[in-house]
Chains A and B, each alone.
Chain A
Amino acid sequence: MFGYSMAEIGNIVVMQGFSGLSMFTVLLLMALGLAIIFGQMGVINMAHGEFMTIGAYTTVMISKVAASYGFTDYYFIFAIIIAFGLAFAVGYLVEFAIIRHLYKRPLDTLLATWGLSLVMQQIFRSTFGAKEVSAELPEWMLGSVNPTPDIDIPINGLFVMGLAALVTFGVYMFMYKSRWGLRVRATVQNRTMAGAVGINTAKVDRVTFALGCGIAGIAGAAFTTIASTGPTTGTLYIVDSFMVVVFGGAASIVGTIASAFGIAQAQSVLQFFMTSSMGKVSTLLAIVTILMMKPEGLFASKLRK
């Protein structure tokens, strides 16, 4: 077939499937935080990408510190935790200072957070310089595993995949099995009643928003394994991740996962057969078209209106 042996084609299919998966995990990590904030709270956070960048810079900085103290092998775990913490803290502050005043005006949150993203980008530039920086990865994360001699599965891809699974599981447990999650869902369902039964809804909002930002921080840490970090890194994925959330049906975590998977695989396959820009254009076009047919997204539940 096309001058290639079946084995060669088989190998490519396996690796191609994996590269789709790895794009999926990056999209998923980005979109999960967004899905919580947008889907659950109705807030459009255009600065989501910058929270990711906070995580990425944190990881880069910690990698530098780790390199100077010589424990490069395990710093990544700490980096993820600190990236989460830092992004969470900044998110907490931002909710307090800006977002909480704008819950009644979703379109305006969009503009305010866009402004915030500009400010954050300039803070990054002033602090870390305009040049892109890169985290030095632990030795064990470099290279690939070879199930057969001709198949290379990148280790960093596997790592990010594991991380994404863990975060998704964590989010699920938090939202559906914890008391906090119950409060969040109660507040989303009926703010007034939630307040009436003694839930501090303002605090729930703040924690939910901060959590979404924290997850973006984790995404940023993961992102350093595949690309470099610059002041404007966050803008790369912001539209993609919004599309994932909207396409999945705003309120549904399952929807977010499914749509991240669909979009990533479609884009990955199309980019194999087309040029990279046409692959991307076709994917986005398909999403927009489907959204026009089915505006509520893939997994929106039917509700009595």
Chain B
Amino acid sequence: MSTLNRRGFMKVSGALVGAMMAAGLVTGHAFAADYPTAKVNTTGLAVTDTTVKVGILHSATGTMAISETGSIQAEKLAIEQINAMGGILGRKIEVIQEDGASDWPTFAEKAKKLLEKDKVASVMGCWTSASRKAALPVFEKDNGLLFYPTFYEGLEQSKNVFYTGQEATQQILAGLDWIAKEKKAKTFYLIGSDYIWPRTSMKIARKHIEQHLGGKVVGEEYIALGDTQFGSVINKIKLKKPDVIYAAVVGGSNVAWFKQLNAAGLNSSKQTMLTISVTEDEVLGIGGENLAGFYSAMKYFQSQDNDANKKFVEAFKKRWGKDAVIGDVTQAAYLGPWLYKAAVERAGSFDVDKVQAALPGYEFKDAPEGPVTVEANHHLTTKLRIGQWGKDGQAKVVYTSGYIKPDPFPKGYQ
């Protein structure tokens, strides 16, 4: 296997391994002795006979710590579970955790440290687009491997990154289709925080609404990050009376947005809203009572009823406390170490080029969200789910789409 030049046969071999996998030829159990370090690590990564170093790079401090803590927990949980199963190619994963401190340059600095000093074999990390954009050149230059968990705006595809969250079209199109059909919605009000992800998402949403749904966008609004005063915006919405508010407000603003919306009389009995930025994590801060009845479009909800998810939720709560909640990104972060394990085992090597080549085509059947497939563009094929929030802070899945292929550079939406 290792004599094959994988770079040249990326697709072929991907299909081949897929076939072998299906035939049960490659199993999850491997022993270090079968894979001598000199063979599986030809590029000087921090891989020994018994261990492999993997970096975790998130914000443990600063404003983003709120969001990124869940991802750190999920990644650590997955790594602990993998180690309990014997590790990767018989090697235990050693975690080197670095703090991005909610500061984009720090992400670049720490990524550099992980790749150049610690020589980690892969990195689970980044959360905001800004932190990823800052760290990306480092990963590309040092040929590192990043598993990135957050749903994001797309418009990016790097051989050094696997995107375990959804890109924008996956999250947006099916959700809009559903709400337009279900609620007979014709007029939409778009509102988001003022940065690249909401703006790109709204651009796609507007095109879809205008060109495919025959609807009308009656207002589009962006709120400065961290702003907590929504009085004027809410009044604008009241004046326009949209059928649906389509929202992508993030961070601290999110809580203020829902609280003030309710206080202004626009609760779910009077107003339909679909958000793409509220997960179980956010609900903790917003409060279920402020959110009850509104919808979120995500690929994962904690309440999903399948065996893999039940096990995941149970393990997560056992590890991180019974009050812990799991949002979409947390689940996507949980996929990272598992996908990495699968990729290394498919490649039979820790070498980054081989691992990159081995992962596309792999179907991860035991993902809590349900089976997902890694595509050649390094994104996942997933389903979209619409959840309706209850007062208890959990969402009821009211709609599940079919499988949606990732399309980070959507034609006709740019």
Chain A residues with CB under 8 Å of chain B are: 4, 8, 11-12, 15-16, 18-20, 22-23, 26, 125, 129-134, 136, 142-144, 146, 152, 154-157, 225-228, 230, 232-233, 236, 267-269, 271-272, 275-277, 279-280
CB distance from A136 to the nearest CB of B (A): 6
- Report B188-235 residues with CB < 8 Å from chain A CB: 194, 221-224, 226-229, 231-235
Question: Is the pair A19, B235 in contact by a Cβ cutoff of 8 Å?
Answer: yes
CB distance from B252 to the nearest CB of A (A): 6
- Report B235-250 residues with CB < 8 Å from chain A CB: 235-236, 238-239
Question: Is the pair A236, B226 in contact by a Cβ cutoff of 8 Å?
Answer: yes
Question: Which chain B positions have C-beta within 8 A of A22?
Answer: 231
19 additional contacts (CB under 8 A) given A19-B234, A157-B263, A269-B232: A8-B239, A15-B238, A18-B231, A132-B255, A134-B255, A142-B263, A143-B263, A144-B265, A146-B265, A155-B263, A225-B259, A226-B228, A227-B259, A228-B256, A233-B252, A276-B221, A276-B222, A276-B223, A277-B227
Cross-chain contact of A227 among B66, B236, B252, B289 (Cβ < 8 A): B252
Question: Is the pair B284, A144 in contact by a Cβ cutoff of 8 Å?
Answer: no
CB distance from B294 to the nearest CB of A (A): 15
Cross-chain contact of A134 among B60, B238, B263, B287 (Cβ < 8 A): B287
Question: Which chain A positions have C-beta within 8 A of B264?
Answer: 15, 144, 152, 154
Question: Is the pair A228, B233 in contact by a Cβ cutoff of 8 Å?
Answer: no
What are 25 A-B contacts defined by CB distance under 8 Å?
A4-B239, A12-B238, A16-B231, A18-B231, A23-B231, A129-B69, A131-B69, A132-B255, A132-B284, A134-B284, A134-B287, A136-B287, A142-B262, A143-B265, A144-B264, A144-B265, A226-B256, A230-B66, A230-B252, A232-B63, A233-B252, A236-B228, A275-B221, A276-B233, A279-B232
B260 within 8 A of A: yes
Question: Is the pair B259, A132 in contact by a Cβ cutoff of 8 Å?
Answer: no
CB distance from A141 to the nearest CB of B (A): 9
B328 within 8 A of A: no
Interface 1/0s, chain B 48-62, versus A by CB < 8 A? Answer: 000000000000111
CB distance from A169 to the nearest CB of B (A): 24
Cross-chain contact of B252 among A20, A236, A267, A268 (Cβ < 8 A): A236
CB distance from A263 to the nearest CB of B (A): 12
Question: Is the pair B65, A228 in contact by a Cβ cutoff of 8 Å?
Answer: no
- Lowest 5 CB-CB distances: which A-B pairs, in order? A19-B231, A152-B265, A228-B255, A154-B263, A130-B65
Cross-chain contact of A16 among B65, B232, B252 (Cβ < 8 A): B232
Most B CB contacts (10 A, CB to CB) among A129, A131, A136, A144 go to: A131
CA distance A163 to B236 in the complex (A): 27
CA distance A131 to B232 in the complex (A): 27
CB distance from A124 to the nearest CB of B (A): 12
Cross-chain contact of B281 among A8, A131, A134, A157 (Cβ < 8 A): A131
CA distance A132 to B233 in the complex (A): 23
CB distance from A138 to the nearest CB of B (A): 11
CB distance from B234 to the nearest CB of A (A): 7
CA distance A136 to B224 in the complex (A): 26
Shortest Cβ distance from B231 into A: residue: A19
CA distance A279 to B223 in the complex (A): 10
Question: Is the pair A227, B263 in contact by a Cβ cutoff of 8 Å?
Answer: no
CB distance from A305 to the nearest CB of B (A): 39
Question: Is the pair B260, A228 in contact by a Cβ cutoff of 8 Å?
Answer: no
CA distance A154 to B266 in the complex (A): 10
Shortest Cβ distance from A131 into B: residue: B66
Question: Which chain B positions have C-beta within 8 A of A130?
Answer: 60-61, 65-66, 69
Question: Which chain A positions have C-beta within 8 A of B221?
Answer: 275-276
Cross-chain contact of B224 among A156, A269, A280 (Cβ < 8 A): A280
Question: Is the pair A142, B265 in contact by a Cβ cutoff of 8 Å?
Answer: no
Cross-chain contact of A12 among B61, B239, B281, B287 (Cβ < 8 A): B239
Question: Is the pair B256, A268 in contact by a Cβ cutoff of 8 Å?
Answer: no
Question: Is the pair A228, B285 in contact by a Cβ cutoff of 8 Å?
Answer: yes
CA distance A275 to B286 in the complex (A): 24
CA distance A23 to B287 in the complex (A): 22
Question: Is the pair B252, A19 in contact by a Cβ cutoff of 8 Å?
Answer: no
Question: Is the pair A268, B231 in contact by a Cβ cutoff of 8 Å?
Answer: yes
Question: Which chain A positions have C-beta within 8 A of B222?
Answer: 275-277
CA distance A23 to B228 in the complex (A): 10
Question: Is the pair B61, A125 in contact by a Cβ cutoff of 8 Å?
Answer: yes
Question: Which chain A positions have C-beta within 8 A of B234?
Answer: 19
CA distance A226 to B231 in the complex (A): 10
Question: Which chain B positions have C-beta within 8 A of A23?
Answer: 229, 231
CA distance A232 to B281 in the complex (A): 18
Shortest Cβ distance from B225 into A: residue: A277
CB distance from A229 to the nearest CB of B (A): 8
Cross-chain contact of B289 among A136, A156, A268 (Cβ < 8 A): A136
CA distance A20 to B231 in the complex (A): 7
Most A CB contacts (10 A, CB to CB) among B221, B222, B263, B264 go to: B263
Question: Which chain B positions have C-beta within 8 A of A11?
Answer: 238
Q: Take A15-B238, A132-B285, A154-B264 as given contacts and tell me if A272 and B232 are in contact as well, using a CB distance cutoff of 8 Å.
A: yes
Shortest Cβ distance from B256 into A: residue: A227
Shortest Cβ distance from A139 into B: residue: B289
CA distance A43 to B65 in the complex (A): 32
Question: Is the pair B231, A133 in contact by a Cβ cutoff of 8 Å?
Answer: no
Question: Is the pair B263, A268 in contact by a Cβ cutoff of 8 Å?
Answer: no
Question: Which chain A positions have C-beta within 8 A of B259?
Answer: 134, 156, 225-228
CA distance A132 to B252 in the complex (A): 7
Q: Take A12-B239, A226-B256, A277-B224 as given contacts and tell me if A19 and B66 are in contact as well, using a CB distance cutoff of 8 Å.
A: no
Most A CB contacts (10 A, CB to CB) among B222, B224, B227, B235 go to: B235
CB distance from B326 to the nearest CB of A (A): 13
